[in-house]
Chain A
Amino acid sequence: MAFLLGFHRPGYTTMQAFIVKRLLTLLPTLLFTSLIVFASIRLIPGDVIDLMLSQNDISTGQDREIIEAALGLDKPIYAQYFSWIGAVLVGDLGRSLWKNVPVSEQLAATLPITFEMGLLALVVALSVAIPIGIFSAMRQDTGSDYIARSFSLLMLAIPSFWLGTLVMVFPSVWWRWAPPLDYTPFLEDPLKNLRHMLVPAILLGLSLSAVTMRMTRTMMLEVLRQDYVRTARAKGLKENVVVFRHALRNVLIPVVTLVGLQAPLLIGGSVILEQIFVVPGMGSLLLEAVFQRDYPVVTGVFLVVGVAVLFINFLVDLTYGFLDPRVRY
């Protein structure tokens, strides 16, 4: 195996070998994910044919068979899966059952939007959670610590769709201001784009920050009790240096893992907030596709989500090695 991956060939660093190895181990997971998604979407009661027929007021058994055959839904489910996966492996995700456009085109249009939203939310989450977590730990059991912890509890308890609805409704009632809802592509007008995306991204980021903040605080308190922190203090270092040079990296190791585990939450939250704030991202695409039982679109979105989650965890592993010298690739 090591030989096949070129571990010891000159020109390959162990880092590159690690990346190749990790990517290869992702394949079976992806295959398994696709199987689950493919099956589960077809288990939702009510199928696409019924929907199409009811919308068009035609209901003869003959029409049903024609449509089924046209969409390839007359074959047994395993046959459908194999023809689908066969196509996926050569880069064809199929076509939307309703719109007759390639799924890959729809994904290409929506994925960057959701990616931007997720990235913004992550930046918000980390820049709220980590400083407040550190601050809270350094001021353990003081008033500001309690305020910070209550805030994080609140963020944990309030669902972001509810907060999103509040943000939509109350400012418009009170100040006749509402968050802008007209989407502009980032490349067209970055400022206008951000004005629209920032509100949902902040809401999503805040809801993600809660757990990360608590984790940062707990880990910081834990790390500040370690022997090596006492060694650092015995050198005569200022508390700030002790915290930022000696403790923080040790704290971030578990925090980064947690952030990776939150990736599905990030994507899930994005689906809901996109809906509220009319962001034409993958979340909106998915929701519409589920309502319409547009199987290829749903499976396509989930495939992308699956790849994204695995990829984020892969990034987490890389970060881990960067933060912790004990990790060897």
Chain B
Amino acid sequence: MKASPETPMAREGSLLAVRELSVSFRSERGQVRALDHVSFEVEEGETLAIVGESGSGKSVTALSILRLLDDAGQIDNGSIEFEGRDLLHLDEPSLRHIRGDRIAMIFQEPMSSLNPVLTIGKQVAEPIRLHRKLPWSIALEQAAELLDRVSIPESRHRLKDYPHQFSGGMRQRVMIAMALACRPKLIIADEPTTALDVTVQAQILALLKRLTKELNSALILISHDLGVVARYADRVAVMYGGRIVEIAAAAALYKNPQHPYTEGLLASQPSLHSTPGERLQAISGQPPDMANLPPGCAFAPRCHYARAECRASRPPLEPVAPGHERACFGFE
């Protein structure tokens, strides 16, 4: 509040501040570093998109925030401050009060993320009953209203239905209803539409955006597709090889990408300006092997602009303009 906007201290009042987060996994090939000093903030009511290829560390970032990594995953370094408390130093009971109540999560696979043997009503009502300590009858009543809000027809009848009686898109609506149940301050949606038909994708994202706006909840919208999230994000963070390589306001990032990887992602997107039939450029080369990252910039092996410097040391994430940071030694 007191500091000027240029210094990191300006984000002191952020809803969520992830700082220098490093996560590694035990695997047959030894410790694999999945996140490497990842830092970003999310302001109240803001939508931050996290974009990157599969394996770049998006899900690990999301799961770390709720401390839901499986046993093989280990947080090596950093802090995750949410509403002024460091989630990495909370005990399990305090974490459970935050999960589902203050921070809710929507997962990628609507087919497998709902329990097949419990009714939709019970699953949507569960967080209300748990965190608001309301009896099932009232929680179910509220669950029906939530299903109305995510446009599930005949919501009251459908409370008694099971997940297999819903289509993929409808299940993702149910997941959204469940996430909104306790009016969380932050919703993390990990590729919520990747498993769905293209036609359904836009509907679900628009719904998610509208409802988070109504609740004034912040949203972390994770996607592997820069084009899909363009219309919904206030800011965008681009991840590559377990690091954030560029983060900026959405408009600035699309108009003026400052990292070769972001530039490559944009070039591989159809845009308003591209003429029909124009060839889209895919980024050549393979995504990095997380167990065996090069010593320098992880993107260097695929980068047209890479110099000796890029292969020797890792560029830090640094501001290039107000509110616009990138991890690159420069490629102009």
Binding site for B on A (CB under 8 A): 225-228, 230-238, 245-246, 249-250, 253, 323-326
Contacts and interface: CB of A to CB of B under 8 A. Distances in A.
B115 interface: yes
Interface in B171-195: 175, 178
B66 interface: yes
Contact of A235 (B99, B112, B162): B99
Nearest to A232: B115
A325 B126 contact: no
Given A234-B99, A234-B105, A236-B98, A227 B113 contact: yes
Nearest to A140: B71
Contacts of A249: 117-118
A231 B95 CA distance: 15
Contact of A236 (B70, B97, B113): B97
Interface string B87-110: 000000001111111001101010
Residue of A235, A246, A250 with most partner-chain B CB within 10 A: A235
Nearest to A241: B130
A123 B125 CA distance: 34
Interface of A (DSSP majority class): helix
B118 A246 contact: yes
Contacts of A237: 96, 100, 126, 130
A227 B107 contact: yes
The 5 closest A-B pairs by CB, nearest first: A236-B99, A235-B100, A236-B100, A227-B112, A325-B162
Contact of B113 (A228, A245, A324, A325): A228
Residue of B115, B131, B164 with most partner-chain A CB within 10 A: B115
B181 to A, nearest CB: 9
A245 B130 CA distance: 13
Contacts of B127: 235-236
Contacts of B164: 325-326
Contacts of A234: 66, 68, 99-100, 104-105, 107
A326 B117 CA distance: 8
Nearest to B165: A325
Interface in B59-75: 66, 68, 70
Contacts of B109: 227
Contacts of B117: 249-250, 253, 323-325
B114 interface: yes
B116 interface: yes
B112 A226 contact: yes
A245 to B, nearest CB: 8
B112 A228 contact: yes
Given A227-B109, A325-B164, A326-B164, A236 B115 contact: no
Contacts of B126: 232, 235, 237
A225 B114 CA distance: 13
